Each structure stands twice: as structure tokens, then as C-alpha cells.
Amino acid sequence: ASHNNIEQGKRFTFTPRMIAYSVVLGLLLALQGVLLLDRKEVETTILKAQGQRYFEQPNGNLVNMYNAQVANKSFEDLKLTFKLKSHKGTIKVVGEQTTAKKQGITDFILLVEIPAQVFKSYKTAIQIEVLKENKVLETINVNFLSPIE
């Protein structure tokens, strides 16, 4: 209550401006809540390693090297695995690091190995899944380079 309301004995009333500001504030709070509840646990960026084209294996497979950066937005460490979705092949994580630290960013080096006979062009789009306990968190699209011109 304002000083004038007390002196004049008037009761407090909501004005149209106060109602409008209250509605806008409520909508902003609801939007913030939806955005916080809807966000993903992790956000992954996978890029081709600079200066690397491809490696040819003696068994006829091709290997590409990628740098993966995982932003873990959850409050617990996550043991992650990477799996090829679009092609038959394997993904090996270089080093011992397979856990994304809580509330942090973790870097991984991935070696993706795919049989050479499946490629028909120099660049082929492949899909890599990021999994936690066999649950797909994210699917990332990247290009796989091969010697086919």
C-alpha cells in the first residue's frame, strides 16, 4: 500500500498495468521452466580430425579419425559409447577416457572403421549415435572420406 492509500483509507487494487506485467512475468517463468525441462542431457560435436584424410587397413577397411566434444549438462558422470547407425562398421575410442564428466566438456578421439566396398563417392554421410546404457542420447551426422573419386 502506498502512503496516499493509507492517508485516504483506500484499499489496494490491481490496475490493468499490474495485471499485464503479472501475466508477462508468468509467461516468462513458464517459458524458462519448459526450456529447462526440455534440454538434452548431452550436446555432442563431432568433427573430422584436421590434416587427416583416411587410413587403409590391410583387411580392406577404411578408417577415419574424428574429434568428439561432449558437453555433459547433467549432475552425474556419464559413461558413453558411440555406435554407427547408418553403416556396418566399428567405432573405437582412443585412450581410456569413456566417461563424460558432470557439468563439463570432455574430448574424445574416435576411429571409425567401415568396409571400403560400401563407398561410392569421396564423401559419404554417416550417422553416429551417442549412447548411455544402450539409450540413444543423440545422433550426429558426419562425412566419411574414402579414396573413391
The H or E element that residue 20 is part of is helix 16-38
The arithmetic mean of pLDDT across residues 125-149, rounded, is 88
CB atoms within 10 A of CB 142: 18
Q: What is the mean pLDDT of residues 19-38?
A: 94
pTM for the predicted model, two decimal places: 0.74
Instruction: Inform me whether the pLDDT recorded for 96 exceeds 80.
Output: no
Region 88-116: mean pLDDT is 89
CA angle 31, 140, 71 (to 5 degrees): 55
In order of 99, 101, 110, 138, the CA distances from 80 in angstroms are 6, 10, 12, 11
Q: Examine the pLDDT at 1 and tell me if it is beyond 80.
A: no
